[in-house]
């Protein structure tokens, strides 16, 4: 195996292997109904608020400590709820952050 270029964001997990015989995923607590409803919802968000959410995600990714990161993640969820974004009670703040990173 030869790797020419490699980029990973802070907080991401990367696995490199020559051969993978089996892949399994742990359940993240995000069910497909929650994900689908968030996808639909993000299509309706105003562009300015979408930029604000994107910046909040960047701040979380770049936060200096796990404690700071968790505080910012909880503030993100509260902010979304204050802006009228309905979030399922089954979704954790961390789950919402993971979804936002993918959608924004």
What is the residue range of 44's domain? 1-104
Could you give the number of structural domains in the chain?
1
At how many degrees (to 10) do helices 93-103 and 32-44 cross? 60
For 19-31, what is each residue's pLDDT tens digit? 767 665 555 556 6
Are 60 and 76 a contacting pair, CB within 8 Å? yes
Are 28 and 95 a contacting pair, CB within 8 Å? yes
For 68-92, what is each residue's pLDDT tens digit? 988 998 888 888 888 777 666 666 7
For 3-62, what is each residue's pLDDT tens digit? 777 777 777 777 777 776 766 555 555 667 777 777 777 788 888 988 888 898 889 888
Q: What is the reported pTM? A: 0.57
- In whole numbers, what is the pLDDT of the chain averaged over residues? 76
């Amino acid at each position: 195996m030869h790797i020419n270029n490699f980029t990973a964001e802070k907080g991401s997990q990367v696995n490199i292997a020559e051969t993978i015989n089996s892949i399994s995923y742990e359940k993240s607590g995000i069910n497909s109904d929650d994900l689908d409803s968030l996808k639909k919802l993000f299509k309706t968000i105003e562009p300015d608020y979408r930029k604000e959410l994107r910046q909040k995600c960047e701040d979380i990714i770049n936060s200096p400590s796990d404690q700071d990161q968790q505080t910012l993640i909880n503030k993100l969820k509260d902010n979304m709820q204050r802006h009228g974004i309905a979030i399922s009670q089954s979704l954790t703040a961390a789950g919402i952050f993971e979804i936002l990173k993918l959608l924004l």
